[in-house]
């Protein structure tokens, strides 16, 4: 068990509770071998974890990364219909609150012998992208603990982070990152669709390109013909069109980005 320096036994227990809750439904995808592997943490959209997440995880594995998919709803008992009615509409569970799940998942990865906890990427789709961006915008320490409701977060919950990848992320009202920027000095890439009428493709592109960062500017990968959730064969929204060709292209971009932008840098002597 990893010790979290500077935290009381009570707050360590609270952190472990969140980790234990999430760990029940975490799905792990790993390359062959013992590792340790650089690891991607994937967060689903507002409708919940769907089969497409496994396809993205396998793309990461093909690039030499381990990947985990995190289900934020299973331990909370949130049904698909409830998620669409209350979370997709913004009534509850905003990105800054869900960021606690991401921080806890990162700590879970640090505890795994097969994972390289010093080389992690966080990835999110739609609401999950909102969550990733807000997690990167929250100040370390008390602000992160207060915003997420996880009192046992380490002082630097993003330790080991080397990059972030978001797909059709929500960056509208309520998104902290859109107005505060990102404090983590890591590479950030986004896939945005030109026909995305759910979060607004053009609006999202502009917000991401203008987003203040502590590192390089956000790299926006523009798919002009893509709608929201273009990668989901089972999407049930008239504004969404599944496109297998665009999906394959986007997953290739994901794997290429993991292999290049977020790859380990040569040591300096």
Q: Which of 170, 165, 240 is nearest to 200 (CA)?
A: 170
Q: List, in order, residues 6 or more apart from 139 with CB less than 8 Å away.
A: 183
pLDDT of residue 51: 96
pLDDT of residue 269: 39
Each residue's pLDDT tens digit, 30-81: 999 998 999 999 999 999 999 999 999 999 999 999 999 999 999 999 999 9
Instruction: Label residue 268 by pLDDT band (50, 70, 90).
Output: very low
pLDDT of residue 5: 42
Mean pLDDT of 98-116: 96
Q: Report whether 231 contacts 167 (CB < 8 A).
A: yes
Alpha-carbon 113 to chain mean position: 22
pLDDT of residue 10: 47
Instruction: Label residue 13 by pLDDT band (50, 70, 90).
Output: low
**β-strands 27-29, 66-70 pairing:** antiparallel
Whether the pLDDT of residue 18 is over 50: the answer is yes
Lowest mean pLDDT among 9-23, 53-67, 241-255: 9-23
pLDDT of residue 12: 52
Each residue's pLDDT tens digit, 130-182: 999 999 999 998 899 888 988 888 889 999 999 999 999 999 999 999 999 99
> Rounded CA gap, 70 and 201, in Å?
25
Tell me the CA distances in angstroms from 1 to 24, 29, 80, one per residue in order: 17, 22, 34
Q: Is the dihedral of CA 158, 190, 247, 77 positive or negative?
A: positive
The string of DSSP codes covering 36-73 is -EEEEEEE--TT---THHHHHHHHHHHTT-EEEEE-SS
pLDDT of residue 262: 56
Whether the pLDDT of residue 267 is over 60: the answer is no
Whether the pLDDT of residue 4 is over 70: the answer is no
The whole-chain average pLDDT of the chain stands at 91
Superfamily of domain 9-259: Alpha/Beta hydrolase fold, catalytic domain (3.40.50.1820)
Element (H, E) at 161: strand 161-167
Q: What is the reported pTM? A: 0.92
Three-state DSSP at 90 gives: coil
> Rounded CA gap, 114 and 99, in Å?
24
CA angle 212, 166, 183 (to 5 degrees): 30
Q: List, in order, residues 6 or more apart from 171 with CB less than 8 Å away.
A: 129, 130, 133, 177, 178, 199, 203, 204, 207, 208, 211
């Amino acid at each position: 068990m990893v010790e979290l320096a500077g935290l009381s036994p009570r707050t360590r227990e609270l952190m472990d509770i969140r980790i234990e809750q999430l760990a029940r439904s975490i799905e792990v995808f790993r390359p062959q071998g013992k590792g340790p592997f650089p690891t991607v943490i994937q967060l689903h959209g507002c409708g919940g974890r769907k089969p497409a997440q496994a396809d993205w995880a396998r793309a990461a594995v093909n690039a030499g990364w381990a990947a985990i998919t995190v289900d934020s709803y299973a331990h909370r008992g949130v049904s698909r219909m409830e998620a669409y009615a209350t979370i997709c509409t913004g009534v509850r569970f905003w990105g800054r609150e869900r960021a606690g799940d991401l921080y806890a998942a990162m700590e879970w990865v640090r505890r795994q012998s097969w994972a390289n906890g010093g080389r992690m990427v966080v990835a999110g789709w739609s609401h999950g992208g909102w969550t990733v961006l807000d997690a990167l915008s929250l100040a370390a320490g008390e602000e992160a603990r207060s915003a997420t409701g996880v009192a046992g977060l380490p002082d630097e919950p993003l330790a080991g982070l080397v990059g972030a990848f978001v797909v059709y992320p929500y960056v509208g009202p309520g998104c902290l990152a859109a107005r505060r920027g990102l404090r983590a000095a890591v590479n950030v890439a986004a896939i945005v669709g030109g026909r995305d009428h759910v979060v607004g493709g053009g609006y999202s592109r502009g917000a991401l390109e203008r987003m203040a960062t502590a590192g390089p500017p956000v790299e926006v990968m523009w798919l002009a013909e893509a709608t929201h959730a273009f990668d989901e064969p089972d999407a049930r929204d008239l504004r969404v069109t599944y496109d297998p060709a665009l999906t394959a292209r986007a997953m290739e971009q994901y794997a290429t980005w993991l292999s290049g932008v977020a790859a380990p840098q040569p040591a300096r002597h």
